[in-house]
């Protein structure tokens, strides 16, 4: 079950009652100590203290009372009433779903305070590189905010939190004399936190943007930051050129080394050193000798050559970009089921337990956001599990592999598949607009 910290962040409205939202709205949920606050901005600001427990959020939001158009007024009133009555919350991938018997809203996460946790190099100020090394660090304070330190000429220290979609805080500073250019940077940082920074994830890392200027951050990575299993999202800006699911695994090695395992048509293994966010291997990575398709061979070669020449690593949320002047790989961290009897052959970017009250979950739903595919993994040893899911009529989906699909009298799509013990079954591909699922376990 999600905690209050799991739902904290800034979100933008994407859908109302299953339809694409016709008006812009942002939702910020933040915690300060034991107090949880929701802040909605459409035309008016709606703000109030809320309670969150067992996947349910409820509270009264108070409006600034400005005049709005009919569409904006409808969204404000429905959200305000929804919070007063209470919403059930579902967090899935980067989406926050609010639903009760009268309405439903889907929001997409634009930033979370936890995205900042760690150490970052300041690599640009107002689009220009700094003339010396500058570091900014964020450490969770345990109360819903962060301690922040910025080292320029002076050391700026304080605390910050998300408030109304902005990163705000007060920083104190040491009083070392500095040249005018460094003083301007320190002023930009200090006043930016005072007035509020917008947090934007971009290709280089995280951009802090205020009314006075911009600060580009790039996370300083360690072996531990890289550790995990990743699926390949794109190669040189395009779709992945293989029917298989390319998987990259990083594990900490000795000293500054990282153990690498890559699976395309072949399994490729080796070691690379991590120095200043660049991964490079002195020796070619070792590969098995399976014959793959031409595009798979090109992808495998690009990985091998890329690591030999060196790949810059840039982390942003759950994405990791590896790039040099010749190639660019965008990886997404996989969500791994807490399996006890093996593991899924398909990797998703989101994973949920289907039987939440039964041990380790028994059956897992795996969703890969960028592939728009679902799969189910059965972690039992002696149960065959039948899955039956009904999808909204506005869904645009097709059944995969052994799954079957038909449309019922209400226009909804019904998809079914049977998953054998310790097996993975592909389920659907496409765009989902609401679903309900039912699971039956039969002993073998």
Q: What is the pLDDT of residues 336-368, one digit of tens each?
A: 988 888 889 999 999 988 887 655 568 999 999
Report, in this order, helix, strand and coil percent for the chain, each rounded to 5.
15, 50, 35
Say whether both 322 and 403 belong to one domain. no
Say whether both 166 and 187 belong to one domain. yes
Tokens read off for 319: 């994405």
CATH number at residue 124: 2.40.128.270
Asked whether residue 343 is assigned to any structural domain, the reply reads: no
Say whether both 406 and 378 belong to one domain. yes
pLDDT of residue 361: 62
Say whether both 214 and 237 belong to one domain. no
Judge whether 169 and 148 are in contact, CB under 8 Å. Answer: yes
Asked whether residue 14 is assigned to any structural domain, the reply reads: yes
Helix (H, G, I), strand (E, B) or coil at 77: helix
pLDDT surpasses 70 at 183: yes
Q: What is the model's pTM?
A: 0.84
Say whether both 228 and 131 belong to one domain. no
Say whether both 192 and 252 belong to one domain. no
User: Which of 70, 90, 111 marks a domain boundary?
Assistant: 111
Say whether both 74 and 121 belong to one domain. no
pLDDT of residue 360: 55
Q: What is the mean pLDDT of residues 204-231?
A: 93
* More confident: 97 or 240: 97
Say whether both 373 and 424 belong to one domain. yes
Judge whether 65 and 79 are in contact, CB under 8 Å. Answer: no
Of the chain, the percentage scoring pLDDT greater than 90 comes to 69
Say whether both 121 and 103 belong to one domain. no
pLDDT of residue 112: 87
Say whether both 322 and 238 belong to one domain. yes
Provide the domain limits for residue 269. Answer: 223-333
Q: Strands 319-323 and 328-333, how do they pair? A: antiparallel
CATH number at residue 390: 2.60.40.1180
Say whether both 184 and 228 belong to one domain. no
Q: What is the mean pLDDT of residues 154-172?
A: 91
Say whether both 384 and 367 belong to one domain. yes
User: Which of 168, 189, 219 marks a domain boundary?
Assistant: 219
Asked whether residue 341 is assigned to any structural domain, the reply reads: no
> Computed from CA positions of residues 183, 217, 226, 280, in that sequence, does the dihedral angle turn out positive or negative?
negative
- pLDDT one-digit tens code per residue, 34-58: 899 999 999 999 999 999 998 899 9
Count of structural domains, the chain = 4
pLDDT of residue 358: 58
d(CA 323, CA 300): 15
> Computed from CA positions of residues 314, 3, 89, 404, in that sequence, does the dihedral angle turn out positive or negative?
positive
Q: What is the mean pLDDT of residues 290-318?
A: 90
Q: What is the mean pLDDT of the chain?
A: 91
User: Which of 163, 198, 219 marks a domain boundary?
Assistant: 219
């Amino acid at each position: 079950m999600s905690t209050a910290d799991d739902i904290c962040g800034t979100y933008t409205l994407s859908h109302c009652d299953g339809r694409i939202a016709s008006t812009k709205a942002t939702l910020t949920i933040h915690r300060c100590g034991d107090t949880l606050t929701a802040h909605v901005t459409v035309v008016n600001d709606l703000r109030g203290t809320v309670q969150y427990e067992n996947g349910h959020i409820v509270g009264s939001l108070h409006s600034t009372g400005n005049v709005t158009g009919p569409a904006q007024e409808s969204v404000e009133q429905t959200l305000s009433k929804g919070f007063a009555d209470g919403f059930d919350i579902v967090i899935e991938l980067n989406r926050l779903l609010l639903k009760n018997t009268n309405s439903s809203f889907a929001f997409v996460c634009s930033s979370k305070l936890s995205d900042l946790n760690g150490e970052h190099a300041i690599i640009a100020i107002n689009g220009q590189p700094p003339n010396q090394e500058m570091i900014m660090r964020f450490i969770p304070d345990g109360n819903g905010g962060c301690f922040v330190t910025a080292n320029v000429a002076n050391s700026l220290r304080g605390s910050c939190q998300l408030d109304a979609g902005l990163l705000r805080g007060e920083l104190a500073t040491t009083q070392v004399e500095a040249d005018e250019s460094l003083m301007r940077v320190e002023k930009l940082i200090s006043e930016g936190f005072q007035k509020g920074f917008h947090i934007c994830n971009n290709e280089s890392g995280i951009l802090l943007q205020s009314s006075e200027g911009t600060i580009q951050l790039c996370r300083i990575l360690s072996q531990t930051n890289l550790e995990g299993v990743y699926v390949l999202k794109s190669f040189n800006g395009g779709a992945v050129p293989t029917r298989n699911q390319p998987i990259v695994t990083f594990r900490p090695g000795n000293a500054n080394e990282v153990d690498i395992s890559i699976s395309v048509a072949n399994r490729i293994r080796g070691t690379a050193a991590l120095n200043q966010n660049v991964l490079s291997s002195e020796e070619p990575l070792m590969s098995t000798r399976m014959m793959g398709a031409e595009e798979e061979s090109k992808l495998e070669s690009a990985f091998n050559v890329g690591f030999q020449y060196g790949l810059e690593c840039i982390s942003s949320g759950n994405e990791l970009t590896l790039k040099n002047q010749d190639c660019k790989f965008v990886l997404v961290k996989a969500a791994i089921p807490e399996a006890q009897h093996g593991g899924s052959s398909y990797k998703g970017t989101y994973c949920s337990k289907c039987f939440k009250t039964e041990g380790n979950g028994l059956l897992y739903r795996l969703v890969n956001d960028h592939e728009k595919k679902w799969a189910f993994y059965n972690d039992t040893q002696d149960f065959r599990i039948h899955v039956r899911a009904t999808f909204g009529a506005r869904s645009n989906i097709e059944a995969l592999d052994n799954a079957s699909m038909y449309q019922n009298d209400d226009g909804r799509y019904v998809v079914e598949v049977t998953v054998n013990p310790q097996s993975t079954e592909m389920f659907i591909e496409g765009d989902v607009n609401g679903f309900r699922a039912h699971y039956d376990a039969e002993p073998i």
